[in-house]
Amino acid sequence: MEIPYIVTPRKDTGLFNSKIAIWLFLASEVMLFGGFFSAYVFLRIGADYPWPERTLPVLPGLINTFVLIGSSVTVVFAWAALKMREWRKFQIYMWITILCAGLFMVLKGIEYSVKFGHQAVRLNDYSIVEGHLGYEKENGEYVKDYRGKKIEENQIVIEGTKFSFSTVRYHGAWVKSIADQAKHHGATVTLAEDVKAVTKEGQPEEVIAKAGEPLTTDLLSKIRDAHLKARKHNGALRTAALRKEWKDAKAANPDETSVALAPNVNVDAAALAPKLLTEIPTAAFNVSKPVHFLFAPRDIREADGQSRLRDDTVVEGKLLASPMVFHYVDAIDFQHLAMKAKEKGIDPEIAIDNSWLMKNDAFVREIWEWHRGETAKLEERLLKDYGLEKDGKTPKRHPTWKERYRVGWDKIAEYSEQKNNIKIGGFDKGKEHFFGPNYTARNPNGEDLTKPHTFPHLSVPRGEIRFASKFTPSWNTYYAIYFTITGLHGLHVVGGAIVLGYYLFCGRKMYLSNPEWLANRVEVGGLFWHFVDLVWIFVFPVLYLM
């Protein structure tokens, strides 16, 4: 049976089936993205922190806007070529469309990679530092983790002497990392004492693992298997005993409710004990000598004496100084601190002067005094250009909070140029604007760290850190919704490119069978592609320019 209106349109509506379907689908897509944009508006209006403004590099977003607009034009040309039965032109225009989609995703990938490499930290007084961390070095060489990756100078350092692993929840990668770190320092991590257990009902204890065995995932797996076997066996015994107790209680008191019987239904633990197997919930390991173990802050709840990893591994040892070390600071932001000061009725300038950064870093003090001078110049310029209100006292225009309480990478570069009598070339500045702040500083190509820097270094004590994160969804609500909207839009770009690519590479047979059929399919795909372009036209100004 042939389905009608696949190629020819209905006489009453002038539409064929797939066009009706795509319009219904796009209606649902409008509601989806409309919900996200509405959420963005409400989150921005109700934000309890200074909402990030114009924090994304504009140039790649602008290029992507023109790339998508151009691809929308070429997909129309591809459809028109099919209508005129020009297969070769269709192929050319469709290739351009798909290449534009690829370029869009490449630029978006670069933007994402910059965000995932850009560190931010909010201090206890709500001042914020942004920049790029250094990497751990030992004897002039970078220290690498168990995956062979360089370790950032944002680690919790514990002089570990003993580890107690949960036999059920231990994370194999962390076990390997602990063993590798100990080996690197010439130490061993070995089982503290024999692990003995009753593994068969009615049998005496046997040794599962001997004291002195080195820490490995295989050893923990062997202990875990014995533990899980015992837990399963014991659980079955307790369940059977409890069922028997309930059955006997019901038989003895047929008129009583379960609620009334519950206090009297208990398993005879003493009678059950000889049948139970030994459960082994933890396994303790000693370190042959104190070793400085490194842990990512997100993986550990640190404390002096005893810390705990997220897999419930207990680390015993002294908590050492574990500062977060910025090799390149590219922004100092006092907006949140100023907002909190305003709420308490404190002059923001006084709060800034009393902040940890101003009291403990000479460069921050220097650049902030310079920034205050620049802000004063801006106020004079605004007063000259826009004048006063009708009262003759209040200026019509003021510096924004961002201009007044934040020093970005461009201002730090400008100050450093003046202070150190250096010059960042136009090409390097162009890379900064394209790839994000501090691109040049993050790629020093063997720069001598003893020379004056465009961007300052800063070491933040662990006790001063309220919250730290890369520029990922965890940093704040703005980045959460930024990644949600742009990530979902990116999936639409990829999906649309796959469909259009299918028409390009697999549409020849459809074209030879019935050119109008393929033209209809490309028209439907083009409508979706126009929608993808339209969404980005909203995304670009809302997230990049406002």
Residue 448, pLDDT score: 41
Most confident range (mean pLDDT) of 263-267, 353-357, 425-429 is 353-357
| 252 in the same domain as 281 | yes
| 295 in the same domain as 200 | yes
Residue type (1 letter), 421: N
Indicate whether 457 pLDDT > 90. no
Residue 306: inside a domain, yes or no? yes
* Run of H or E including 406: strand 406-407
**E strand residue ranges, 408-514:** 458-460, 465-470
What confidence tier does 121 reach under pLDDT thresholds 50, 70, 90?
Answer: very high
| 356 in the same domain as 262 | no
Instruction: Give me the residue label for tokens 């999936």.
Output: 491
| 367 in the same domain as 285 | no
What confidence tier does 436 reach under pLDDT thresholds 50, 70, 90?
Answer: low
Residue 111 belongs to domain spanning: 17-117+480-545
What confidence tier does 144 reach under pLDDT thresholds 50, 70, 90?
Answer: confident
Give the mean model confidence (pLDDT) for residues 365-370.
Answer: 93
What counts of helices (H) and strands (E) characterise the chain? 18, 16
Residue 139: inside a domain, yes or no? no
Sign of CA dihedral 289, 290, 294, 298: positive
Torsions phi, psi of 10, nearest 5? -65, 145
* Run of H or E including 156: strand 156-166
> Given 298, 321, 344, which residue is the final one in a domain?
321
Report the alpha-carbon distance of residue 430 to residue 435 in Å, rounded: 9
Give the mean model confidence (pLDDT) for residues 92-116.
Answer: 94
What confidence tier does 451 reach under pLDDT thresholds 50, 70, 90?
Answer: very low
Rg, the chain, Cα only: 33
Instruction: Give me the residue label for tokens 């320019």.
Output: 545
| 500 in the same domain as 402 | no
Report the alpha-carbon distance of residue 168 to residue 231 in Å, rounded: 11
> Given 321, 352, 376, which residue is the final one in a domain?
321
Residue 127: inside a domain, yes or no? no
* Run of H or E including 191: strand 189-191
CATH of the domain at 67: 1.20.120.80
Strands 156-166 and 282-295: antiparallel
**How many CA atoms are closer than 13 Å to the CA of 343, on its beta-carbon side?**
10
Most confident range (mean pLDDT) of 261-265, 272-276, 494-498, 522-526 is 494-498
Q: What is the DSSP letter of 172?
A: H
| 435 in the same domain as 336 | yes
Residue 343, pLDDT score: 93
Give the mean model confidence (pLDDT) for residues 163-187.
Answer: 92
Residue 9, pLDDT score: 63
Predicted structure pTM score = 0.81
What rounded mean pLDDT belongs to the chain?
87
Cβ of 536: how many Cβ atoms within 10 Å? 21
| 174 in the same domain as 104 | no
Report the alpha-carbon distance of residue 296 to residue 116 in Å, rounded: 16
Which of the residue ranges 245-249, 258-262, 456-460, 517-521 would you say has the lowest mean pLDDT?
258-262
Residue 13, pLDDT score: 61
Residue type (1 letter), 511: Y
Give the mean model confidence (pLDDT) for residues 254-278.
Answer: 82
Sign of CA dihedral 444, 449, 451, 456: positive
Residue 143: inside a domain, yes or no? no
How far is the CA of 407 from the CAs of 53, 56, 165, 332, in angstroms?
Answer: 13, 15, 46, 5
Give the residue, 123 or 395, on which the prediction is more confident: 123
Residue 137: inside a domain, yes or no? no
| 174 in the same domain as 309 | yes
| 425 in the same domain as 288 | no
| 171 in the same domain as 70 | no
3-state secondary structure of 325: strand
DSSP assignment of 63-130: HHHHHHHHHHHHHHHHHHHHHTT-HHHHHHHHHHHHHHHHHHHHHHHHHHHHHHT-EEEEETTS-EEE
3-state secondary structure of 389: coil
Residue 475: inside a domain, yes or no? no
Indicate whether 444 pLDDT > 50. no
Residue type (1 letter), 26: L
Residue 524: inside a domain, yes or no? yes
Residue 422, pLDDT score: 59
What confidence tier does 418 reach under pLDDT thresholds 50, 70, 90?
Answer: confident
Most confident range (mean pLDDT) of 113-117, 366-370, 516-520 is 366-370
Residue 144: inside a domain, yes or no? no
- pLDDT, one tens digit per residue, over 1-19 is 455 555 566 655 656 667 7
- pLDDT, one tens digit per residue, over 21-64 is 888 889 999 999 999 999 999 999 999 899 988 888 888 999 99
Which of the residue ranges 121-130, 437-446, 517-526 would you say has the lowest mean pLDDT?
437-446
Give the mean model confidence (pLDDT) for residues 83-103.
Answer: 95
Cβ of 66: how many Cβ atoms within 10 Å? 10
| 456 in the same domain as 338 | yes
| 310 in the same domain as 162 | yes
Residue 450, pLDDT score: 37
In sequence order, the 6+-apart residues with CB closer than 8 A to the CB of 416 are 422, 452, 453, 454, 455
> Given 321, 338, 366, which residue is the final one in a domain?
321
Are 197 and 226 contacting, i.e. CB atoms less than 8 angstroms apart? yes
Instruction: Report the number of distinct structural domains present in the chain.
Output: 3
Cβ of 161: how many Cβ atoms within 10 Å? 15
Give the mean model confidence (pLDDT) for residues 154-180.
Answer: 93
